A and B are shown apart, each in its own frame.
Chain A
């Protein structure tokens, strides 16, 4: 509308320098309006033309192509109460000290995932922001926001971690992307299609730089299986020490591999069992084959050169070689080797036996929740050592154990344990322990401020977790 532009031009400069007449408007019937003076004329023209523009505004036509919509999500939406709770947690209206709010958010997400329910779509953006800020939660967030979230993340670069990448694009992206992106891509792919991910690594393996080869190999720890063994065996002969070390570390976790068998031969040559007693001979300088299998001169803390070789051999040999009954008769170097082996091979039988023999936070953390709590329930002393074990224990804990634990701590006045393991208690205690926590809170000396604060935080967290549990069952 050019008459509007003329009018705007005159208005910008001012009627002192440029005037505008009503017949310049393409609006019929304006010339006989009773208007006097340049200012009144311009203002009248503005009133008329602006009114025409407002009422006659026509929208521009968009000619782009609409991106394909999000795929369907068959899960049912969670209850309004659950939604409200998640909102309170995400906007931190509910606040619990030392990361407690994030933990409760994770509880919510886990409960929703396990119940096969989804949050309402309007919270997708806030969950994507939560996942962007809390890197460790991303896998869970991605699962909970489902196809809608993966679809939305495609439109925003800062949410790329959650974006659904079409399968046909993966090969292309892996070949061309920057190193960090390639690793992220591979990490994702290993979780769902480990074999396909490995073939991607194998395809480009010969052309990669050493640092990249080590990084790519590292991602195989996700979904590791015996099908990865040929590549790992090949990598033991790599030019780069970092790649060889990465391969050895992964093979340590495959007790059925050829390398594990070679380690068993080395171990049984050194250790013999006679009348249920262990006879240990320290190894000699490793030969070339042992070096290739990853035995190094790195000292184990508190052990000599030869003992360190022994520990490395035992840590890489299959535990099925031995009987757990031997634990009671083993020296410290053998125990250290077996402990490493049990942790790497995730052998629950050995982990349990070793933890019962010599409980330590590292072993307790690797047990299943039920085994760990069974072990903890047997402990007599509610001291700092117990606090350390408790803090390391995995969850969730059963109602019976949780309530008994709180009652035991209360009876022993073990406020130190309470403070040491506060975060773990908030995370793993069963909501059924709420009554026990509240009872303690009622009777505790008001001067015991730090302990009171922990108990109050616990009561708060358990109340919310009870609600989450209730809303998802």
Chain B
């Protein structure tokens, strides 16, 4: 009997964090019937919003997914949820001698189809048709979004702030429906930002500018270069398959783990950003990992260590998203924060990135000789006196305790004119903040 997968392996198949989260919500056995598995197949029926339950089957060999739901995500949340329940191995999805008819039929069909090998890859015409369908759906969503943006600036920002939360939520939901989930998430988050932030007006105007740039860029996407197109895809949330990234550009370097940020506000999903600095290339890249709450993150790197090996780069402008590739990664202990400069130097580098990618929101800064200045607005000040305001949720006292009032190297993220420290160098070692 083949051993069951880990939850992390299942979640690695999720096309985006939203799917992983949705799948977690579907693992209630009461919404499922006719569950079972054998050596190569897992199957079950899930009661969704349609009258008859969706028939879900997973072929573990590829893995390949089959679900009767209308979702365009691949794999869909039902397939992921089924695998999660199977991976739990708690008797809910039990091994059976005979598969349900819908599962074995599909498997037989697939076997028939895979036999003549050349025919296996989907016909290019079919693929092109699917792509055209998706793009026209997205274009319609963009047109709708442009009308909404026009509406907002015609009525004015002050008026937009007085709108109920549904104003932002429904605009966000329409974007999600139009396969623009990244944009939808940003619009939805603005609903609380306009009330929570004292600088809400410039913040909203800045966001409107960026969103409008999405509209303009989408219309002219045929003229964009590969990196700009990739940035656009990222901001709208058009995700890429891991396999596609692994097949793309790869870089071997000694990658210093500069900072990590774990976000667990979401009760279902933990996400982790790991910032890396390549010693040879001088590149800064970020690795994103997701795991179900309570599950282990896929690549738990140690802050301050140096990972010798290969990463696969996502297409797009710097700082790029990356994925650890290959098998052998030699890990050694680093001795501090490489590539640190004063504030002016770090901001000059940031300006280059911001000019390359107008939608960049988190800018990594490696700063040397920063003094912590506590007060009503806590600051980090470099030797020239250049001051960065610390993010409101920074643990200023811990930072002060670590530094002892002396200038120390600090790594962190620059997010809408605030600095969020992630690591500080103390006695040649990086310490997590």
Is there a chain A Cβ closer than 8 Å to B60's Cβ? no
Q: A40-B150, A68-B405 are in contact. Are A152 and B397 (CB under 8 A)?
A: yes
Residue in A closest to B404 when the chains form the complex, CB atoms: A70
| Residue numbers in A under 8 Å from B350 (CB-CB) | 55
Is there a chain B Cβ closer than 8 Å to A166's Cβ? no
Q: A47-B210, A51-B358, A152-B397 are in contact. Are A14 and B156 (CB under 8 A)?
A: yes
B211 to chain A, nearest CB (A): 8
Is there a chain B Cβ closer than 8 Å to A446's Cβ? no
Cα A72 to Cα B187 in complex, Å, equals 50
Cα A46 to Cα B379 in complex, Å, equals 29
Is there a chain B Cβ closer than 8 Å to A49's Cβ? yes
Q: CB < 8 Å: which of A11, A17, A58, A148 contacts B157?
A: A11
Is there a chain B Cβ closer than 8 Å to A234's Cβ? no
Q: Are A15 and B154 in contact (CB under 8 A)?
A: yes
Of A121-129, A282-290, A382-390, the one with at least 4 CB within 8 A of chain B: A121-129
B: number of interface residues (CB 8 Å): 49
B122 to chain A, nearest CB (A): 38
| Residue numbers in A under 8 Å from B384 (CB-CB) | 61
Restricting to A1-21, which residues have a CB under 8 Å from any CB of B? 4, 7-8, 11-17
Of B125-133, B258-266, B385-393, the one with at least 4 CB within 8 A of chain A: B385-393
| Residue numbers in A under 8 Å from B212 (CB-CB) | 40, 43-44, 46-47
| Residue numbers in B under 8 Å from A148 (CB-CB) | 401, 404
Q: Are B158 and A66 in contact (CB under 8 A)?
A: no
Is there a chain A Cβ closer than 8 Å to B351's Cβ? yes
Cα A37 to Cα B153 in complex, Å, equals 12
Q: CB < 8 Å: which of B153, B213, B405 contacts A66?
A: B405
Is there a chain A Cβ closer than 8 Å to B22's Cβ? no
A46 to chain B, nearest CB (A): 3
| Residue numbers in A under 8 Å from B379 (CB-CB) | 62
Task: Give the one of A48, A50, A61 with max B CB within 10 A.
Answer: A50
A52 to chain B, nearest CB (A): 10
| Residue numbers in B under 8 Å from A37 (CB-CB) | 150
Q: CB < 8 Å: which of B157, B354, B400 contacts A12?
A: B157
Is there a chain B Cβ closer than 8 Å to A64's Cβ? yes
Is there a chain A Cβ closer than 8 Å to B202's Cβ? yes
Residue in B closest to A68 when the chains form the complex, CB atoms: B405
Residue in B closest to A46 when the chains form the complex, CB atoms: B209
Residue-wise, chain B 405-433 has the 8 Å CB interface mask toward A (1 for contact) of 11000000000010000000010000100
Is there a chain B Cβ closer than 8 Å to A302's Cβ? no
| Residue numbers in B under 8 Å from A55 (CB-CB) | 350-351, 354-355
Restricting to B359-413, which residues have a CB under 8 Å from any CB of A? 371, 373-374, 379, 381, 384-388, 395, 397-398, 400-402, 404-406
Task: Give the one of B157, B216, B379, B400 with max A CB within 10 A.
Answer: B400
Is there a chain A Cβ closer than 8 Å to B224's Cβ? no
Cα A97 to Cα B24 in complex, Å, equals 36
Cα A230 to Cα B402 in complex, Å, equals 47
Cα A12 to Cα B200 in complex, Å, equals 11
Is there a chain A Cβ closer than 8 Å to B208's Cβ? yes
| Residue numbers in B under 8 Å from A39 (CB-CB) | 149-150, 153-154
Q: Are B401 and A59 in contact (CB under 8 A)?
A: no
| Residue numbers in B under 8 Å from A60 (CB-CB) | 386-387
Cα A38 to Cα B154 in complex, Å, equals 8
Q: Are A63 and B385 in contact (CB under 8 A)?
A: yes
Restricting to A30-85, which residues have a CB under 8 Å from any CB of B? 37-40, 42-51, 53-64, 66-70
Q: Are A69 and B153 in contact (CB under 8 A)?
A: no
Task: Give the one of B206, B395, B404 with max A CB within 10 A.
Answer: B404
Cα A308 to Cα B205 in complex, Å, equals 85
Q: Are A50 and B355 in contact (CB under 8 A)?
A: no
Cα A16 to Cα B405 in complex, Å, equals 53
Q: Are B351 and A53 in contact (CB under 8 A)?
A: no
Cα A50 to Cα B388 in complex, Å, equals 19
Q: CB < 8 Å: which of A62, A69, A120, A151 contacts B385?
A: A62
Q: Are B401 and A43 in contact (CB under 8 A)?
A: no
B344 to chain A, nearest CB (A): 8
Q: Are A48 and B201 in contact (CB under 8 A)?
A: no
Q: How many CB-defined contacts (below 8 Å) exist between A and B?
A: 141
Is there a chain B Cβ closer than 8 Å to A155's Cβ? yes
Cα A468 to Cα B175 in complex, Å, equals 56
| Residue numbers in A under 8 Å from B385 (CB-CB) | 61-63
Q: Are B150 and A59 in contact (CB under 8 A)?
A: no
Q: Are A125 and B401 in contact (CB under 8 A)?
A: yes
Q: Are B201 and A12 in contact (CB under 8 A)?
A: yes
A6 to chain B, nearest CB (A): 12
A168 to chain B, nearest CB (A): 20
A119 to chain B, nearest CB (A): 11
Cα A56 to Cα B347 in complex, Å, equals 9
| Residue numbers in B under 8 Å from A98 (CB-CB) | none
Q: CB < 8 Å: which of A12, A42, A44, A151 contacts B405?
A: A151
Q: Are A50 and B398 in contact (CB under 8 A)?
A: no
Residue in B closest to A17 when the chains form the complex, CB atoms: B156
Is there a chain A Cβ closer than 8 Å to B303's Cβ? no
Q: CB < 8 Å: which of B149, B154, B402 contacts A16?
A: B154
Is there a chain A Cβ closer than 8 Å to B155's Cβ? yes
Q: CB < 8 Å: which of A56, A61, A125 contacts B386?
A: A61
Q: Are A155 and B374 in contact (CB under 8 A)?
A: yes
Cα A7 to Cα B153 in complex, Å, equals 11
B151 to chain A, nearest CB (A): 8
| Residue numbers in A under 8 Å from B26 (CB-CB) | none
A to B CB contacts below 8 Å, 24 in the list: A11-B208, A12-B157, A15-B156, A38-B154, A44-B212, A47-B216, A48-B209, A50-B210, A51-B213, A54-B206, A54-B354, A55-B354, A59-B347, A60-B386, A61-B384, A61-B387, A62-B379, A62-B385, A62-B386, A69-B404, A69-B406, A121-B426, A155-B400, A156-B397
Known: A63-B385, A125-B401. 18 other contacts (CB 8 A): A12-B158, A14-B154, A14-B155, A15-B153, A15-B154, A16-B155, A17-B156, A43-B212, A44-B212, A50-B206, A50-B210, A59-B343, A59-B386, A62-B385, A66-B373, A66-B405, A70-B405, A149-B401
Residues on B lying within 8 angstroms of A by beta carbon are 149-150, 153-159, 201-202, 205-206, 208-210, 212-213, 216, 343-344, 347, 350-351, 354-355, 358, 371, 373-374, 379, 381, 384-388, 395, 397-398, 400-402, 404-406, 417, 426, 431
